[in-house]
Amino acid sequence: MENRSYALATGLFVLLMSATLLAVAMWFRGGHVSFAHYTVVARQGVPGLNFKAPVKYQGVEIGKVEDIEFDPQDSRQVLVDISVIEDAPLNSSTFAQLGYQGITGLTFIDLSDDRSRARGKLDDGARIELRPSLIDRLGDAGPQLLARAADAAERLDRLLGDANQQRVAQALTHLDEAAQQVAELAHALQPVAGELAPLASDSRKLVAHADASLGHVDTLAEQSGQLVTTLQAKASALDQLATASAQLQRTVARLDAALVGPEHRADKPLIDELAQAAAAVRRSADQLSAEPQSLLLGHPATPPGPGEPGFKPPAKP
């Protein structure tokens, strides 16, 4: 009886532990999870990718690699079968790239998509294109980068050659000489700079004198206008005087003819003097009419004749 009780207790304990382990496993798995299967098509190698490697979508692990094989229809392609959780947000624009886990270098499938071209959920069993990653592109461009680096190093070596170094040294020497000449020029210009202030002051005084001179010129112009007006008035009076003189001369002639007659004119000095006076008045009027400025400025000096001081003979043609 005791053996049977012991066996029953042992059996119950095993069943209880099995149920507990099953419950814990179900709790960790979160219940039943459905998976969808897709095929990643790689037209280049997949170095470092192994079975059971993780599959991530935007950094979140959603599945794993199930199989890796060559495409039976095109041996240049590699087919990678993956399984991901069924509710993963994959669409028709989803593509794959190889990712690398930190310093370990382990490779995984990194899924991403172009949201601007998304057209609905990706069907189960569809194919996903594997695009070159940044590291792959750098690896492909490595030979070109190395060739360009070698070319740049060669050009740098030519640039830093002995001949160019001598040219650079000469250029630095010339630059130093030019700097010294500029310093000497600046030192020589210091006295000139000190004289600029007095020169500016003199310039301002000159401008002030010029303004005053312009004022005098304006006054002189105004006075000249007044003088012209006065001369015009005097000229009009002189014209009237000339007219009156002519009339007086005609009147004297008529009186001479009426009083003494033409045959006795020489015996009458009074009449002759009147005629001469009238003629002199007319000559004065004609002279003033020709030179009205002489009324204010006087008659111009008569040029010296031959034998007089200051006489200059006319130039020969």
Residues of the chain with pLDDT > 90, as a percent, come to 6
User: Is 257 domain-assigned?
Assistant: yes
Distance, CA of 150 to CA of 142 (rounded, Å): 12
Decide if 246 is inside a domain.
yes
User: Which two three-digit tokens encode residue 220?
Assistant: 């002189």
Residue 200: inside a domain? no
Residues 112-170: tens digit of each pLDDT: 887 777 677 888 888 888 888 776 666 666 677 777 888 888 888 777 777 777 888 88
Three-state DSSP class for residue 184: helix
What six digits make up the tokens of 133?
């990653």
Rounded-to-integer distance, Cα 132 and Cα 98, Å: 8
Q: Residue 34 has what pLDDT?
A: 82
- Decide which of 137, 163, 183 is a domain's last residue: 137
Q: What is the pLDDT of residue 101?
A: 79
Domain boundary among 87, 102, 137: 137
Q: How far apart are CA 160 and CA 74, in angstroms?
A: 53
Nearest to 111 by CA among 93, 126, 125, 123: 93
Q: Give the separation between CA 126 and CA 24, rounded to whole angstroms.
A: 34
Q: Give the pair of three-digit tokens for residue 218.
A: 């304006």
pLDDT number for residue 226: 72
Range of the domain at 268: 228-295
Which regions of the chain are under pLDDT 70? Answer: 1-4, 6, 25-33, 105, 118, 135-142, 224-225, 227-228, 230-242, 244-246, 248-249, 252-282, 284-312, 314-317
Q: pTM (2 decimals)?
A: 0.39
Closest CA to 82 of 130, 43, 48: 130
Task: Judge whether 104 lies within some domain.
Answer: yes
> Within a domain: residue 25?
no
Burial of 36 (0-12, 13-18, 19+ CB in 10 A): buried
- Domain end marker among 137, 170, 200: 137
Residue 46 lies in a domain: yes
Task: Confirm whether 243 is domain-assigned.
Answer: yes
Phi/psi zone of residue 206: left (φ > 0), alpha (ψ -120 to 50 degrees), beta?
alpha
* Distance (Å, whole) CA 315 – CA 263: 52
* Identity of residue 188: A
In a domain, 1, yes or no: no
Query: Given this model, what pLDDT does residue 267 score?
Result: 47
3-state DSSP assignment of residue 48: coil
Domains identified in the chain, total number? 2
